[in-house]
Chains A and B, each alone.
Chain A
Amino acid sequence: GQNIDQPTEMTATEGAIVQINCTYQTSGFNGLFWYQQHAGEAPTFLSYNVLDGLEEKGRFSSFLSRSKGYSYLLLKELQMKDSASYLCAVMDSNYQLIWGAGTKLIIKP
């Protein structure tokens, strides 16, 4: 079956760095997405990786290793507003999105 694994919850300190991991086992691979979702709101797009390596966008970076079925989202200079759930999703061979359950990130002052 298809599976996306990410930690349920993480806690970090304002100003610090946090890495949220995602491992996946899917039937085919056509890219991996990271989304941010604040409580009660719809997800917003953060990043897309289809080739191995690191993609950097400001304070957020996303890494992909296709051979290991592994990705991480790196958040730097954490701000209180970064408290949210972070969803990892993989597009499979049928171009369907398979979603992880999300990682709730708690930022403490």
Chain B
Amino acid sequence: GAVVSQHPSRVICKSGTSVKIECRSLDFQATTMFWYRQFPKKSLMLMATSNEGSKATYEQGVEKDKFLINHASLTLSTLTVTSAHPEDSSFYICSARPTDSDYGYTFGSGTRLTVV
């Protein structure tokens, strides 16, 4: 089946530093990947749609300069949280949808970011 690999799974960083999260589709090509954020006991919130070879599409209220997205190849998208603050601490999840997946979106394993 389709697999999306995401790492790191957990990261602790100091305020003011930047953190890069990688999302790879291992056995399929993904022209589009999605980045979500989830707070405890809350629903998934779409942050941005990553498009291979072009600029990402950000949801309203998401700072483009703070959450940098790069989708340089058909199998890799990265999310960089720049100048992280404690309020950026959250669970970040990427997903993609293989074209033959019966419409099921496949999710990465998620990244638990803690900013101290």
A residues near B, CB below 8 A? 31, 33, 40-45, 48, 50, 87, 89, 96-97, 99-102, 104
Contact = CB atoms under 8 A, between A and B. Distances in A.
Given A40-B112, A48-B102, A99 B44 contact: yes
Contact of A97 (B42, B91, B105): B105
Give the interface size class of chain B.
Answer: 20 to 34
For the residues of B in contact with A, the DSSP-based class is loop
Contacts of B56: none
A91 B91 CA distance: 22
A48 B104 CA distance: 7
B83 to A, nearest CB: 26
A102 B104 contact: no
Interface of B: 6, 34, 41-46, 91, 93, 102-110, 112
Contacts of B44: 43, 87, 89, 99
A100 B38 CA distance: 12
B105 A33 contact: yes
B87 to A, nearest CB: 20
Given A42-B93, A48-B104, A99-B44, 18 more contacts: A33-B105, A40-B110, A41-B109, A41-B110, A42-B6, A42-B109, A43-B93, A45-B104, A48-B103, A87-B43, A87-B44, A96-B46, A97-B46, A97-B105, A99-B45, A99-B46, A101-B43, A102-B43
